[in-house]
Amino acid sequence: MNAAIVGASGYGGEILVKLLAAHPKVTLKAVTSRSKAGQPVSAVIPAMRGALDDMLFEASDPQELAAREDIDVYFLALPHGAAAEYARHLVDAGKKVIDLSADFRISDPAIYEEFYGAPHPDVELLGRSVYVLPELTEDGWQEKDLFACPGCYPTSILIPLLPLLKAGVVSKQHIVANAYSGTSGAGKQSKEAFSFCEVNESVKAYGLPKHRHLSEIEEQLGMAAREKIVIQFNPHLAPMNRGIATTITVPSNGASIEQLYEVWNATYADKPFVFVLPQDQRPETKYVVGTNRVDISAVKDDRTGNFVITSAEDNLVKGASGQAIQILNLWQGWDETAGLV
């Protein structure tokens, strides 16, 4: 399959370039960036020296991209708002789109406007899209025109929590999720707050109490529980380049830790990118960075009756670009791990 990456100069775009350039079933035909147009890909992304020396960044014009006959699938690594404009032209031209932005992650336009501060940019196209968490989205999504790739924080919360909520082994109330992300999650921003001296040797909470990803998390949990779910989500900026570590505290609803693990083991038995760790082990970011894996484990606190669930992932791979390629693999019926291990 021939692929293009639109907006490939950010951190997520760079990971897409590296992964797709090495994918056994993909030919990377175009890499675009308005700010880098005309520059060699191997100069902007030095890791690609010797691999993409002849490829240049192209200008990002949605109409010109939609007219390309040599490209089958487009990955949109663009900010929210901008992605929808490209998606409209591409889908209308009969192309398949995998979107890494937030534009099509939330099915309710009113919730999108509440959390993103502007009306949804394309409500009609929203109805032709589908949110795809590869391990958990039910079959049938492959028939849609546009696939929305989940956010990094939501992936770290939904993978461990969603099947438990659906099975009824955890409470639907009093859920608290504390998550810690590396600074690459903020993208390539030239801001004082993200300079080395500001983030090194320091951890801080941000985006309280309504981080944008909360909308996506609560909507997906609500669909699983078949009722409105409200959680306390507390994101933090951690002094590391990559990775997300999340700790979720949730009342056990009377279930045992053995029942929790039974649900996880049944849900993820044949899922190559979710590793269920024993109760006495904790996921660590250093073991998942550079992989498309989520590690999860849990313990029960008999004093409080709560489950304490932990997860770890790479925010740029399983939290973004790797998951997008996982979606591509499943859509095409290829080996789910192609290009990812």
The residues, any chain, with a CB within 8 Å of residue 312's CB and separated by 6 or more, are 156, 243, 244, 245, 246, 283, 284, 285, 287, 288, 294, 295
Query: Has 197 been annotated as catalytic?
Result: no
For 269-295, give the secondary structure using H, E and C. CCCCCEEECCCCCCCCHHHCCCCCCEE
H/E run at residue 307: strand 306-313
The residues, any chain, with a CB within 8 Å of residue 206's CB and separated by 6 or more, are 235, 236, 237
Q: Three-state DSSP class for 206?
A: coil
For the record, the structure tokens of 279 come out as: 């109760």
The residues that bridge with 138 in the sheet, in sequence order, are: none
Quickly count: other Cβ atoms within 10 Å of residue 63's Cβ: 10
The residues, any chain, with a CB within 8 Å of residue 329's CB and separated by 6 or more, are 335, 336, 337, 338, 339, 340
- State the Cα–Cα distance between residues 74 and 41, nearest whole angstrom: 17
Q: Which amino acid is at 87?
A: A
Q: 324 with 149: CB under 8 angstroms?
A: yes
- State the Cα–Cα distance between residues 306 and 297, nearest whole angstrom: 14
Q: Between vectors from CA 340 to CA 179 and to CA 297, what angle results, nearest 5°?
A: 35
Q: Three-state DSSP class for 120?
A: coil
- State the Cα–Cα distance between residues 28 and 17, nearest whole angstrom: 8
For the record, the structure tokens of 166 come out as: 């659906």
Q: Which of 5, 152, 217, 255 is catalytic?
A: 152
Q: Would you please indicate which residues are annotated as catalytic (active-site) residues?
A: 152
